[in-house]
Amino acid sequence: MSIKFFDFLKTEFNIDFNEKQRTAILQKYGPVLVLATPGSGKTTVLNAHIAYLIFNYNVNPENILALTFSKASAKDMNDRFYETYGGLIPDGIKFSTIHSFSYKIIRYYYYINRINYQLIEGNRSRYNKRSILQKIYRRVNRSNINDDKLDELSNSISFVKNLMINFKDINDYKFQAKNFDKIYKTYEDYKKNNEYNMILLDFDDMLIEANNILEKNQYILKKYQDQYKYVMMDEGQDTSLIQNKIIEKIALPKNNLFIVCDDDQSIYGFRGAQPKYLLDFKERYNDAKIIFMEQNYRSSKNIVDISNKVINNNSIRYPKMMFTVNPESGPIKIVKLKTEKEQLDYVVNSIKSDEYLDDIAILYRNNISGIGLAQKLYEEDISFYMKDYHRNFFSHWVLNDILNFVRFSYDDRSIPLLQAIYTKFDSYISKKELEFLKEQDVTKSVFDNLVKYPHMKAFKKRNLKRFKKDFKKLKRKSPLEAIRFIRYDLKYEERLEGYSELTGYSMENLRYILNTLEGISEDTYSMENFVDKLNNLKRIMHESRKNRKNGAVTLSTLHSSKGLEFKKVFIVDLIEGQIPTKESIKREAMGDSLALEEERRLCYVGMTRAKEKLEMLTVGYKNNEEVLSSRFIKEIEKCILENKKVSCSPSLKKDSIVRHKKFGLGMIKDINDSMIIIDFDKRGEKQLSIDMCIKRDLLEIIKLDC
Ligand SMILES: Nc1ncnc2c1ncn2[C@@H]1O[C@H](COP(=O)(O)OP(=O)(O)OP(=O)(O)O)[C@@H](O)[C@H]1O
């Protein structure tokens, strides 16, 4: 029957599974761990395994629970399954994320026990997790928390819960937030005891609660165990300890557990993913089958070879050797450009004339990089698909500040507008002076009124007169000139630097926002026109979510690109500080390379999305400041060189005749790993570096081994 199944797949869908894949697909009972490399068919095999159970063993689709990490992956798994087997297999398989499966358990339990609860995730929720954490942070630390730090705090809380860390051990982990233990405890208590008399749940609580319910309530546990006789898990490397505990419980007593994973693609360690737990699978299930799949079907030979070498630089990994029989398709291209603008121009010019935009992806480390790209593509009328975008950008306070400066230039009598910006340029206006203004003639310029303030020093009066002129000038400027004038002449950027030092806001991000605003304003002629353009861009980015597989270039973070594949991939902004992040570099310098290895895995995930063409881009200047190319670029360059050496060196043999571009004809006298000695007809014996000869394409073989 199995032969028939594979023959059928071959004739119907042109899929010819290899031996390892077949072995995995045919497992019927017990725990199975498929440990595999990128593009080796993990999702394809998992889906075929499900189909095989249904076709061959008449397993009821409703008895199958197929879990994965993210909503997008669950949807992708579901779509891919029904695209292939849709006409043959009835609906009923539950493709789900672990979170939504856990939520289902909670809803059931709370329903039968009449417990009131409320989710606190998402901006739309009235009971919003972010605002709860902001308030608690303020109460505990008597200071405000900015968005970046709030993300970090939220990730630390996830980390504690996903790794099931005991509260008493919390301080063993060096979490960044000040008084993290107090904040954590207050947050946890508040969700149980609050003014709404409801249990408040965040995403991580879904896992904790579901695990508790399954532990305490045999009836519910049995209900789910009876329903889901086969449990599958894709992207197993991203599951955390608590998630594994839930999956294990459901799979009992038969342990029909089929997990596919690639520890080299584990990129959520910062939130508590724990691939090591799966790598100890055999210790937990001594009857477990472990199957390795290492043949990559996706990418060309060079992409596979180089990616392999890059990931080999990680020390904490299960050794695997990815290979492919796919042909070469041109070398990986490293593109080094001076500025971000050049980078945008380069990428957009490279894809302008491409017919099939669905085949192209532009990937980046940080969401914010997507804004400049989206804007450029929009200007060039190139359709794009963007799943997540930096929503805050369009309502960011930096944008609001710029608009307030401009508004004030149109009405320098407005005290509320002055109030909004007086600390954001070098005004040196005091609160008392602002109060004084409120009692003055409101039909006059605030600057004219302020000079009347009693005992005002002469230099301040001079400044106020200058400001009056400056704001008049600002009013006459084009949007681009206005932003630059605010940044540099009114010293807004200098103020931001001080502010970011005080609050921990990333100055890099603030500068990037200003640069992007400059980019957007470039061809606009008035402030209304600039605001219209911003609104248009926001709308287009929002609507771009509908463009998936609809003739559009994909713009995505590296994290969200997991599981996807494209003919052509560009990875942009490969600079130190972005990938790897500053934090990972800092930790590495202190001897902890865990975070840096996760960054390398992220780069590896991006590289292995490419089927045929991969271009890795870096810039010399970011936000007008000099930056260094990512160390991963250097690693890749080294690998490319080594690869060339490997492919060249068999032909570079002792006694072969070669022609050197500068020294002419000669015979190879000796050769080792790095050096070559050639006796040149006209220049005598010379010792040369092989790397240099290859890099500069200096040597040509005339006659082999004579
Ligand atoms: N035996 C096979 N013959 C031909 N193509 C295959 C085979 N197995 C898988 N593929 C193709 O290889 C590509 C990668 O498969 P799949 O997405 O299942 O891999 P994966 O291991 O889940 O990848 P990743 O983990 O990198 O996201 C797909 O285009 C798939 O159709």
Helix (H) / strand (E) element for 315: namely none
Ligand 1 atom nearest the C-alpha of 36 is: 21
pLDDT tens digits for range 253-296: 999 999 999 999 999 887 777 777 777 888 889 999 999 999 99
Torsions phi, psi of 660, nearest 5? -95, 140
Per-residue pLDDT averaged across 126-144, rounded? 89
Per-residue pLDDT averaged across 565-583, rounded? 95
Helix ranges (DSSP H) in 14-69:
19-25, 42-57
Distance, CA 415 to ligand 1 centroid (Å)? Answer: 63
Q: In what order do the strands lie in the sheet with 333-337?
A: 333-337, 610-619, 566-571, 360-364, 553-557, 384-386
Q: Quick check: helix, strand or coil at residue 555?
A: strand
Distance, CA 676 to ligand 1 centroid (Å)? Answer: 42
CA distance readout (Å), 39 to 188, 296, 298, 557? 41, 5, 5, 19
Site to substitute for ligand 1 among 9, 40, 260, 603, most atoms within 8 A of C-beta? 40
Site to substitute for ligand 1 among 17, 44, 84, most atoms within 8 A of C-beta? 44
Distance, CA 7 to ligand 1 centroid (Å)? Answer: 18
Q: How many helices (H) and strands (E) does the chain have?
A: 29, 21
Q: In what order do the strands lie in the sheet with 289-293?
A: 94-97, 64-68, 230-233, 257-261, 32-36, 289-293
Confidence of residue 704 (pLDDT cuts 50, 70, 90): low
- CA nearest neighbour of 106 among 233, 228, 234, 202: 202
Torsions phi, psi of 700, nearest 5? -130, 130
Per-residue pLDDT averaged across 466-491, rounded? 94
253 cis-preceded (ω within 30 degrees of 0) = yes
pLDDT at 706: 42
Query: How far apart are alpha carbons 554 and 560 in whole angstroms?
Result: 11
pLDDT tens digits for range 366-417: 888 888 899 899 889 999 999 777 667 888 899 999 999 999 999 999 999 9
Distance, CA 327 to ligand 1 centroid (Å)? Answer: 16
Residue 164 has what DSSP assignment?
A: T
3-state helix, strand, coil in the chain (%, to 5): 55, 15, 30
CB 42 within 8 A of CB 298: no
pLDDT at 319: 82
pLDDT at 651: 63
- The domains located in the chain, with CATH, are 1-101+208-295 (3.40.50.300), 117-197 (no CATH), 333-387+548-645 (3.40.50.300), 397-532 (1.10.486.10), 650-703 (2.30.30)
236 lines ligand 1 (CB under 6 A): no
CB 411 within 8 A of CB 421: no
Per-residue pLDDT averaged across 315-322, rounded? 84
Annotated binding site for ATP: 36-43
Per-residue pLDDT averaged across 466-475, rounded? 94
- The DSSP bridge pattern shows strands 333-337 and 230-233 to be unpaired
Confidence of residue 136 (pLDDT cuts 50, 70, 90): very high
In whole numbers, what is the pLDDT of the chain averaged over residues?
Answer: 89
Pair of tokens at residue 331: 């070398």
pLDDT at 705: 56
17 lines ligand 1 (CB under 6 A): yes
520-529 long-range Cβ contacts below 8 angstroms, 24+ apart: 520/375, 521/478, 521/479, 521/480, 521/482, 521/483, 522/480, 523/379, 524/478, 524/479, 524/480, 525/478, 525/479, 526/478, 526/479, 527/403, 527/406, 527/479, 527/482, 529/479
69 lines ligand 1 (CB under 6 A): no
ipTM for the whole complex = 0.98
pLDDT at 362 over 90: yes
Ligand 1 atom nearest the C-alpha of 47 is: 18
Of 385-389, 555-559, 698-702, the one with minimum mean pLDDT is 698-702
Query: How far apart are alpha carbons 314 and 602 in whole angstroms?
Result: 12
Q: At what angle do helices 147-162 and 241-251 cross, to 10 degrees?
A: 40
pLDDT at 157: 94
Confidence of residue 650 (pLDDT cuts 50, 70, 90): low
- HEC string for 416-466: HHHHHHCCCCCCCCCHHHHHHHHCCCCCCCHHHHHCCCCCCCHHHHHHHHH
In sequence order, which residues have a C-beta less than 8 Å from that of residue 507 and are 6 or more positions away? 496, 497, 500, 501
For atom 25 of ligand 1, the residue with the nearest CA is: 38
Tally of CB atoms within 10 A around 518: 15
pLDDT tens digits for range 176-203: 888 999 999 999 999 999 988 899 999 9
- HEC string for 659-700: EECCCEEEEEEEECCCEEEEEECCCEEEEEEHHHHHHCCCEE
Annotated binding site: 36-43
How far is residue 110 CA from its own chain's centroid?
35
Helix ranges (DSSP H) in 218-339:
218-227, 241-251, 275-279, 281-284, 301-311
18 lines ligand 1 (CB under 6 A): yes
Per-residue pLDDT averaged across 231-242, rounded? 92
pLDDT at 645: 60
pLDDT at 641: 80
User: 599-637: buried (b, 16+ CB within 10 Å) or exposed (e) per residue?
Assistant: bbbbbbbbbbbbbbbbbbbbbeebbeeebebbbbbebbb
pLDDT tens digits for range 74-86: 888 898 898 888 8
Helix ranges (DSSP H) in 116-234:
129-141, 147-162, 180-192, 203-216, 218-227
Of 82-86, 474-478, 485-489, 607-611, the one with minimum mean pLDDT is 82-86
Per-residue pLDDT averaged across 310-331, rounded? 88
Query: How far apart are alpha carbons 139 and 182 in whole angstroms?
Result: 10
Site to substitute for ligand 1 among 45, 260, 297, most atoms within 8 A of C-beta? 297
pLDDT at 1 over 60: no
Helix (H) / strand (E) element for 362: namely strand 360-364
For atom 6 of ligand 1, the residue with the nearest CA is: 297
Ligand 1 atom nearest the C-alpha of 15 is: 3
Tally of CB atoms within 10 A around 691: 15
